[in-house]
């Protein structure tokens, strides 16, 4: 490879973006809006993939965008554009104003009340620029994939190893005078390889992601883990239909908490489209379960000083002793429900289920006989009823020990019962995700197979 | 006279003061490195969306996006950069970044530029956003709400959305090709919540295509979709728990064709087969489905959501036979994978936007009809599941396992459709599921225009279809052990 010239490095400073947001809000006022909000983001980065020891793709990313909402009394309209020129900004404001003329007055619409807006914007240590050269990224990707391919002779093929590095500057402002900026970075290494034997092919992957390159798992460790995960799936069998306890391995256990968040999100509640309606103060999980949010963790991928409404999130318990303590609300849904925003416009922040003291091996022993699920596919979750049915692959476990891989089965139940039947959480937590959980043992589900 | 090309020049090139000689110069700049192929993809899109809940259209949004993606291919390597500014210096930067994938040194020169010849016109180059007054868009959604509420007193919530996109693209290729397309796309969706005796359920329906908003008015689809969503929700309100285990499954016509999409569609994409990572790799010429089963991918159906005049690499779309009478005939190809596999591209090179690289993707995939009366198919089943509506699905292309989740299903007992059962996920193995198709109905239907397919984080609109099918032995993931 020759030396690569990167696309010109032009990350706008947060001061420039703040000025742009100020201009947008002024333009909104000029066009008659009674209040307005705007966000601008600029992202750039590099992503390199190698496959079977050769470079496959080198991708340079540069994106920018403006999104705004205008309020004319209680009517609103939104618009967005990737063109930040003054003329395009004017057009964007005009488009939102046009829409607002046709939308109905909604008494719950509007900006956050001024007293709810974040007063301080703490530095959460989220910006660690790396700017690897293409050559550095290739070298690291090769190290990752080489390590994967060296694990086992049955690793016969690869989907490749990828190294990426992105940085982003985001500014949000509104006509109550709030103006906040965050600069963040995200770097990662991922690898997917294919194992093959007489039984067929199996693919699996592993990845690491962090704000700070120094916090990434070593490239070779990522590759090794991807390969081990692929090879262990070879020779998967079907099981007959049965009722069994299930352990969700940590990387898939986070999906259970996502379904929980979906059910206590404000929009699901005011639409009455949740299986956890009217459960505040009532038991929703087994009594030992604590689930809390930690928005201000330094360097964490889910941390933020203010949400998409400009509201400060808070350290808080969502579930304590199995009992639901609060919902996941933005300004609009909170008003609809007669509550206060919980600072969750845009989602939850480092949602954590308190780990127990056993590792995965301990959980397997506690389960005795049952299913360890390591992969889920499909979208068979009904958020209105809690009915749950998804494709699964994993391992059959007897007497606390893994017996053989299984595939082409489904696991089904109702999320209400599954949450109440949550027996234990492992201490095998991956601290890099926005949902932090160890492996989760569920008392009983229906496995459907041959 | 090529109208799409004129529109594309006017929309994408003229505002930046660019013309085709500038594009040739940019491609020439890339060809100073040893690349096999390069292209420039210009895109301009306008998107609007209006949504209704609680009886009111309370929000609407409008989005404009434009940019250019620059790609250089050398062997199996791809260099890719993009810019959301269509300006010569930004394009030149992107070209420099993309060509770095290959060493410097002369490539074969640019051949004389050729415009794509008689470009088919599968849909009108219209602007859906302008096809209806804003007040009428709001009224259309209010009609949906009123009809759903009127249909049944147990309806407690109606959520409806109307969206429209106008997209103009222009592709300039280093092999001299130049193609443009103007692509409209509209969609109307409705979701309802019904409530009775403390039980709540949901139902949804929708449709659309590469047409104007008039499509919904002329066919009274606002009311049809609303009634269909309510009907589904009410069926589920009475549904029992779904069975668990392997059984005979009858799939209804139309949207249940996502079976094909998940079971074989992704597995037949050229990239996975070139790399040998698909369970279907190396199986061309082999039997992968029962005799009588023929599956095609057809990007040339008029006005369909998955159709394209030219794909995102400027290749005209076509009707590609994937499986003929049970035998695997070929794969879905873009230019990169077709070249590396030594076959012709099939017009399946698609990308979500200028900021994404093209991949081989489906357009409209469907199974041709057989001879059986659907009533005869149901009557042949002693005990099984009749699944007529589905949510999404997913596949692991390497081991071939796929799922798709029913949202409306019934038990079949002694040849008769009896009780409704709750939705359940169905799981199977792609390379063998179609070998267990024992009856094919004569009632081919295409879906109503709601499909979106995801791959590598890129979403593209697609279509599916099939006649009623009987599959002998598919695992149904309910909770009731038989």
> Which positions 241-270 of A are in contact with B (Cβ < 8 Å)?
241-243
DSSP secondary structure string, B148-200? HHHH-TTEEEEEEEEEEEEEEEEEEETTSEEEEEEEEEEEEEEEEEEEETTEE
CB atoms within 10 A of CB B466: 30
Residues B360, B313: Cα–Cα separation, whole Å: 10
Q: Which residues of A115-142 are buried (b: 16+ CB within 10 A; e: fewer)?
A: ebbbeeeeebebbbebebebeebbbbbb
Instruction: For helices B134-151 and A86-102, give the axis angle rounded to 10 degrees.
Output: 40
Identity of the residue in A8, A57, A99 whose CB atom sits nearest the CB atom of B62: A99
Neighbours of B457 (CB within 10 A): 7
Under DSSP, the state recorded for A425 is: E
Distances B165 to A100, A218, B44, B184 between C-alpha atoms, Å? 19, 44, 10, 6
Q: What is the pLDDT of residue B109?
A: 67
In tens, the pLDDT along B379-421 reads: 999 999 999 999 989 999 999 999 999 999 999 999 999 999 9
Comparing CB atoms, the residue among B60, B244, B403 nearest residue A446 is: B244
Residue A3 has pLDDT above 90, yes or no: no
C-alpha distances in angstroms, A235 versus A200, A213, A395, B381?
A: 7, 37, 11, 33
Q: Measure A376 CA to nearest chain B CA, in Å.
A: 10
pTM score, two decimals? 0.95
- The mean pLDDT of B195-208, rounded to a whole number, is 95
From the list B422, B417, B418, the residue with the least C-alpha distance to B405 is B422
CA-nearest of A89, A71, A63, A61 to A29 is A71
pLDDT, chain B, mean = 94
* Minimal Cβ distance to A271: which of B53, B84, B393: B53
| Binary contact (B103, A2; C-beta < 8 A) | yes
pLDDT-based confidence at B102, cuts 50/70/90? confident
The model's confidence at residue A245, banded by pLDDT at 50, 70 and 90, is very high
Q: Do A408 and B428 touch (CB under 8 A)?
A: yes
Q: Indicate the pLDDT class of residue A432, thresholds 50, 70 and 90.
A: confident
pLDDT value at residue B118: 55
The strand pairing partners of B90, in sequence order, are none
The answer to whether A377 faces chain B, any CB pair under 8 Å, is yes
Query: Mutate which of B477, B480, B481, B482 to test chain A, going by most A C-beta atoms within 10 A?
Result: B477
- Residue B46, H or E segment: strand B37-53
The pLDDT of residue A1 is 27
CA distance B380 to B375: 9
CA A400 to chain centroid, in Å, comes to 31
- Please report the pLDDT score of residue A5 as a whole number: 30
Q: Taking the CA of residue B182 as centre, how many other CA atoms within 13 Å lie in the half-sphere pointing to its CB?
A: 20
Name the residue among B80, B101, B479 with its Cβ closest to that of A412: B479
pLDDT at residue A4 greater than cutoff 80: no
Q: Å from A98 to nearest chain B CA?
A: 9
pLDDT at A240 over 50: yes
Q: What percent of chain A has pLDDT over 70?
A: 97
Q: Which residues pair with B39 in a beta bridge?
A: B71, B173
Whether the CB of A77 is below 8 Å from some CB of chain B: the reply is yes
Res B1: pLDDT? 42
**Cβ–Cβ under 8 Å, residues A265 and A327:** yes
Residue B33 is given by DSSP the state: B
Instruction: From chain B, pick out residues whose CB is under 8 angstroms from the CB of A62.
Output: 81-84
- Whole-angstrom Cα distance, residue A211 to residue A61? 18
Q: Do B53 and A384 touch (CB under 8 A)?
A: no
DSSP string, A291-357: EEE-TT-TT-TT--SS-TTSB----EEEEETTEE---B--HHHHHHHTS---S-TT--SSEEEPP-S
Cβ burial, residue A107 (10 Å; 0-12/13-18/19+): exposed
The answer, for A101 touching chain B at a CB cutoff of 8 Å, is yes
- Mean pLDDT of all residues in A47-68: 95
- Return the bridge partners of B50, or none: B60, B162
Q: Are B332 and B323 in contact (CB under 8 A)?
A: no
Strand partners, B45: B65, B167
Q: Which residues of B touch A389 (CB under 8 A)?
A: 242, 405, 423-425, 477-479
Q: Which residue has the tokens 């302008």?
A: B130
- Radius of gyration of chain B, Cα coordinates, nearest whole angstrom: 24
Measured CA to CA, the distance from residue B266 to residue A344 in angstroms comes to 36
Looking at the predicted structure, is the pLDDT value of residue B446 above 60?
yes
B61 contacts in A (CB within 8 Å)?
77-80, 96, 99
A79–B80 C-beta distance less than 8 A: no
Alpha-carbon distance A315 to nearest alpha carbon in chain B (angstroms) = 31
Q: Is the pLDDT of residue A400 over 50?
A: yes
Widest CA span of chain B, in angstroms?
A: 75
Q: Provide the Cα torsion B389, B395, B401, B403; round to 10°.
A: -20
| Closest of A387, A284, A301, A285 to residue A348, by C-alpha | A301
Rounded percentage of chain B residues whose pLDDT exceeds 70: 97
* C-beta atoms of A2 and B100 within 8 A: yes
A446: closest CA among B387, B157, B390, B241? Answer: B241
Report the 10 Å Cβ neighbour count for B15: 12
Give the relative orientation of helices B134-151 and B221-237 as an angle to the nearest 10 degrees: 30
Contact assignment for A389 to B60 by CB distance below 8 Å: no
User: What is the nearest CA distance from B113 to chain A, expressed in angstroms?
Assistant: 27
Give A 411-430 residues with CB within 8 A of chain B. Answer: 411-414
How many Å lie between the alpha carbon of B111 and the closest alpha carbon of chain A? 26
Neighbours of A251 (CB within 10 A): 19
d(CA A164, CA A170): 19
The neighbour count for residue A46, using CB atoms within 10 Å, is: 24
The string of pLDDT tens digits covering residues A104-153 is: 999 999 999 999 999 999 999 999 999 999 999 999 999 999 999 999 99
Cβ atoms A53, A145 nearer than 8 A: yes
B422 to A59: CB separation less than 8 angstroms, yes or no: no
Cβ within 8 Å, pair B195-A389? no
Q: Count of CB contacts below 8 A, A vs B?
A: 273
**Residues in chain B within 8 Å Cβ distance of A7:** 81, 83, 93-94, 96-97
Question: If you write DSSP's letter for every residue of A236-276 in order, what string do you get?
Answer: -B----EEEEEEE-HHHHHHHHHHHHHHTBHHHHHTT--TT
Distance from CA of B374 to the nearest CA of A (A): 27
Q: Of B379, B417, B425, B372, whose CA–CA distance to B258 is shortest? A: B425
Number of other residues whose CB lies within 10 A of the CB of residue A44? 22
Nearest 5 degrees, angle CA A421-CA A424-CA A425?
125
Non-local (6+) Cβ contacts of A137 within 8 A are: A46, A47, A48, A163, A164, A165
Structure tokens at B336: 């990169």
Element holding A25 (H helix, E strand): helix A14-30
* Mutation choice for B interface testing from A2, A240, A378, A421 by most B CBs within 10 A: A378
A44 pLDDT band, cuts 50/70/90, is: very high
Token readout for B443 is: 């009632």
ipTM of the complex: 0.94
- DSSP letter for each residue of A56-96: EEEEEEEEEEEEEEEEETTEEEEEEES--SHHHHHHHHHHH
> What is the bridge-based pairing of β-strands B480-481 and B243-251?
parallel
Asked if the model's pLDDT at residue A12 lies above 80, the reply is: no
Q: Assign residue A272 a region (left: φ > 0; alpha: ψ between -120 and 50; beta: otherwise).
A: left
Token digits for A387?
């009915």
Instruction: Supply the pLDDT for residue A13.
Output: 83
pLDDT in tens, A303-316: 999 999 999 999 99
Q: How confident is the model at residue B115 (pLDDT cuts 50, 70, 90)?
A: low
Q: Does the structure show a pLDDT above 90 at A353?
A: yes
Residue B3 is predicted with a pLDDT of 85
Beta carbons of A377 and B403 less than 8 Å apart: yes
- Which tokens hold the place of A317? 């318990």
Distance CA A315, CA A349 (A): 9
Which residue is it, tokens 């032009």?
A10
Separation CA B172–CA B179 (nearest Å):
7
- Contact across the interface for A387 and B104, Cβ inside 8 Å: no
User: How many CA within 13 A on the CB side of residue B53?
Assistant: 17
CB atoms within 10 A of CB B10: 11
Cβ of B157 within 8 Å of Cβ of A446? The answer is no
Q: What is the CA radius of gyration of chain A?
A: 24
Contact B164, B213 (CB under 8 A): yes
Q: What is the dihedral of CA A218, A224, A225, A229, to 10 degrees?
A: 160
What does the pLDDT look like over A410-427, one tens digit per residue?
Answer: 999 999 999 999 999 999
Our CA-based measurement puts residue A207 at a distance from the nearest CA of chain B, in whole angstroms, of 15
């Amino acid at each position: 490879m020759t030396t690569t010239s990167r696309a010109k490095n032009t990350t706008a400073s947060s001061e420039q973006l703040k000025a742009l947001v100020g201009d947008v809000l002024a333009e909104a006022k000029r066009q008659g809006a009674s209040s307005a909000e705007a966000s601008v983001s600029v992202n750039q980065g590099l992503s390199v993939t190698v496959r079977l020891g050769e470079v496959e793709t080198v991708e340079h990313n540069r994106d920018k965008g403006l999104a705004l909402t205008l309020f004319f009394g209680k009517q609103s309209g939104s618009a967005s554009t990737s063109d930040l020129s003054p003329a395009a900004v004017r057009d964007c404001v005009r488009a939102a104003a046009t829409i607002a003329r046709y939308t109905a007055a909604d008494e719950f619409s509007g900006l956050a009340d001024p007293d709810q807006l974040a007063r301080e914007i703490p530095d959460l240590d989220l910006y660690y620029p790396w700017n690897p050269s293409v050559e550095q990224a290739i070298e690291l990707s090769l190290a990752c994939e080489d390590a994967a391919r060296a694990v086992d002779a049955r690793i016969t093929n690869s989907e490749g190893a990828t190294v990426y590095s992105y940085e982003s500057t985001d500014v949000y402002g509104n006509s109550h005078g709030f103006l906040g900026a965050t600069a963040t970075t995200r770097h990662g290494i991922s690898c997917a390889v294919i194992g093959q034997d007489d039984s067929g092919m199996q693919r699996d992957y592993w990845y690491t992601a962090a704000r700070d390159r120094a916090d990434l798992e070593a490239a070779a460790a990522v590759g090794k883990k991807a390969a081990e995960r692929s090879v262990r799936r070879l020779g998967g069998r079907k099981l007959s239909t049965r009722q069994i306890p299930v352990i969700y391995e940590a990387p898939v256990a986070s999906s259970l908490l996502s379904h929980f968040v979906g059910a206590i999100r404000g929009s699901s509640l005011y639409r009455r489209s949740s299986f956890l309606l009217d459960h505040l103060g009532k038991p929703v999980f087994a009594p030992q379960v604590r689930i809390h949010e930690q928005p201000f963790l330094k360097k964490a991928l889910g941390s933020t000083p203010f949400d998409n409404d400009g509201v400060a999130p808070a350290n808080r318990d969502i579930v304590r002793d199995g009992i639901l303590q609060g919902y996941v609300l933005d300004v609009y849904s909170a008003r609809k429900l007669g509550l206060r925003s919980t600072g969750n416009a845009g989602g939850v922040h480092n949602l954590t289920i308190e780990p127990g003291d056993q590792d995965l091996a301990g959980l397997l022993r506690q389960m005795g006989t049952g299913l360890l699920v390591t992969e889920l596919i499909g979208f068979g979750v009904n958020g209105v009823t809690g009915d749950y049915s998804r494709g699964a692959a994993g391992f059959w476990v007897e007497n606390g020990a893994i017996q053989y891989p299984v595939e082409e089965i489904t696991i089904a139940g109702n999320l209400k019962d599954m949450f109440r039947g949550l027996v234990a959480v492992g201490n095998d937590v991956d601290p890099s995700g926005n949902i932090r959980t160890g492996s989760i043992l569920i008392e009983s589900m229906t496995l459907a197979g041959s | 006279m090529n109208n799409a090309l004129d529109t594309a020049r006017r929309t994408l090139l003229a505002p930046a003061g660019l013309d085709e000689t500038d594009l040739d110069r940019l491609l020439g700049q890339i060809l100073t490195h040893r690349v096999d192929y390069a292209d420039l993809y210009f895109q301009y899109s306008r998107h609007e969306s209006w949504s209704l809940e609680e009886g009111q259209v309370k929000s609407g949004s409008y989005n404009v996006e434009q940019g250019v993606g620059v790609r250089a291919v050398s062997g199996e390597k791809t260099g890719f950069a993009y810019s959301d500014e269509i300006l010569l210096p930004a394009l030149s930067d992107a070209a420099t970044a993309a060509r770095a994938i290959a060493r410097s040194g002369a490539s074969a020169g640019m051949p004389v530029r050729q415009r794509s010849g008689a470009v088919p016109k599968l849909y009108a180059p219209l602007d859906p956003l302008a096809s209806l007054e804003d007040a009428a868009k709001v009224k259309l959604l209010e009609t949906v709400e009123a009809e759903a509420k009127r249909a049944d007193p147990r309806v407690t919530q109606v959520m409806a959305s109307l969206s429209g996109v106008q997209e103009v693209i222009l592709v300039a290729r280093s092999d001299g090709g130049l193609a443009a397309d103007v692509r409209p796309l509209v969609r109307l969706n409705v979701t309802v919540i019904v409530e009775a005796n403390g039980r709540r359920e949901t139902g949804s329906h929708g449709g659309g295509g590469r047409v104007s908003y008039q499509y919904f008015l002329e066919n009274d689809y606002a009311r049809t979709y609303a009634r269909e969503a309510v009907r589904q929700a009410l069926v589920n309100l009475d549904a029992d728990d779904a069975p668990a285990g392997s059984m005979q499954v009858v799939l209804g016509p139309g949207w249940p064709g996502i079976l094909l999409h998940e079971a074989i569609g992704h597995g037949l994409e050229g990239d996975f087969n070139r790399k040998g990572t698909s369970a279907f790799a190396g199986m061309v010429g082999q039997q992968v489905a029962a005799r009588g089963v023929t599956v095609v991918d057809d990007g040339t159906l008029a006005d369909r959501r998955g159709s394209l005049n030219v794909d995102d690499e400027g290749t005209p779309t076509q009707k590609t036979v994937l499986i003929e009478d049970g035998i695997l005939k070929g794969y879905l190809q873009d230019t990169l994978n077709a070249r590396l596999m030594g076959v012709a591209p099939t017009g399946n090179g698609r990308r979500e936007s200028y900021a994404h690289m093209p991949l081989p993707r489906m357009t409209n995939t469907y199974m041709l009809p057989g001879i059986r009366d659907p009533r005869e198919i149901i009557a042949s089943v002693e005990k099984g599941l009749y699944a007529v509506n589905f949510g999404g699905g997913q596949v692991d292309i390497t081991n071939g396992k796929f799922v798709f989740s029913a949202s409306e299903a019934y038990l079949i007992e002694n040849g008769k459709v009896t009780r409704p059962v709750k939705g359940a996920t169905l799981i199977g193995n792609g390379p063998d599921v179609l070998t267990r198709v024992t009856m094919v109905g004569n009632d081919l239907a295409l879906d109503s225009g709601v499909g979106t397919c995801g791959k590598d984080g890129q979403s593209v609109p697609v279509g599916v279809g099939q006649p009623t099918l009987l599959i002998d032995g598919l695992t149904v993931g309910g909770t009731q052990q038989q």
